[in-house]
Amino acid sequence: MAADPVSQDSFALFHQLADTAWDAIRPSFRQVLAIDNKDSGGFDPVTEADRAAEQAMRALIQDIHPDHGIIGEEFGRSNTDAATQWVLDPIDGTRAFISGVPVWGTLIGRYENGRAASGMMSQGFTGERFFGDRSSAWYKGPDGARQLSTRSCSSLDQAALFCTSTDMFTPAEKATFEAVAQQARMTRFGTDCYAYAMLASGHVDLVIEADLKAYDIAALIPIIEGAGGIVTTWTGDAPENGGRIVAAGDPALHAAVLPLLTLAED
């Protein structure tokens, strides 16, 4: 087994950022909050906790690494030409957050020359952190630290499939998803980034989603790949820019599902 990277310098800043974000978020969770809507045609909630956590993380990065770039959900991009880019989603799963359900997470990713090199998903309320660097992935929580490993599941009819919501799909994407879901052993909804963490932990086999942004997936790619899984777009391309995403714990399952993710119309 690889050495425990919990104390390695490569993840020290990730832990600092996660601590900083949780300090900003803690006073707001399960409290009465003012909620703004970022989507005039639907509902895309944002709270002061989202903004405060991202501002705190950005300030820490800029203080330690002023030459690095930042891509954040709430405050956009800075230093876009930098080879190292930090990709931040302060609260992935704001709908869960405002509902008091602890399946949201703070996503902290690091891109090197456009590729996801390392990432962390931190769930401050439960005290859990999932992190990886594409070669290994780890969990640290109330019950200790352990290396993460996806489980073997090469057949769709034995797979547990997760998706946050079918509301993220166009009609054509929804039809494609439902055709895959009909063949899966079990389909569950509503867990946002936590589904990807559970895939890396060996409890979920497949996550299929669409309309993701870079900050929705950046931190999760190295965790899943470090645990033995695979993440791509529906067309098998690199997932760093988001879009239509499929993550599988077993590369054989990914290979079996990918041909099914074709759209009859767009």
Q: What is the pLDDT of residue 15?
A: 96
Closest listed residue to residue 163, CA positions, set 177, 153, 176, 145: 177
Q: What is the pLDDT of residue 46?
A: 75
Residue ranges, the chain, pLDDT below 50 = 1-2, 6-7, 266
We report the CATH number of the domain holding residue 95 as 3.30.540.10
Residues 217 and 255 grouped into a single domain: yes
Residues 245 and 180 grouped into a single domain: yes
Residues 80 and 136 grouped into a single domain: yes
| Last residue in a domain, options 106, 128, 147 | 147
Domains: count for the chain = 2
* Residues whose CB falls within 8 Å of the CB of residue 86, separated by 6 or more in sequence, listed in order: 57, 61, 68, 69, 70, 71, 108, 109, 110, 111
Q: Determine, yes or no, domain membership for 266.
A: no
Q: What is the pLDDT of residue 264?
A: 57
pTM: 0.93
Residues 167 and 233 grouped into a single domain: yes
Residues 27 and 134 grouped into a single domain: yes
- Helix (H) and strand (E) counts for the chain? 8, 15
Residues 86 and 213 grouped into a single domain: no
We report the CATH number of the domain holding residue 219 as 3.40.190.80
Strand locations in the chain (E): 35-37, 45-47, 69-72, 76-78, 84-92, 105-112, 115-123, 128-132, 137-141, 144-147, 160-163, 186-189, 206-212, 230-233, 243-248
Domain that residue 9 falls in = 5-147
| Last residue in a domain, options 101, 125, 147 | 147
Q: What is the pLDDT of residue 7?
A: 45
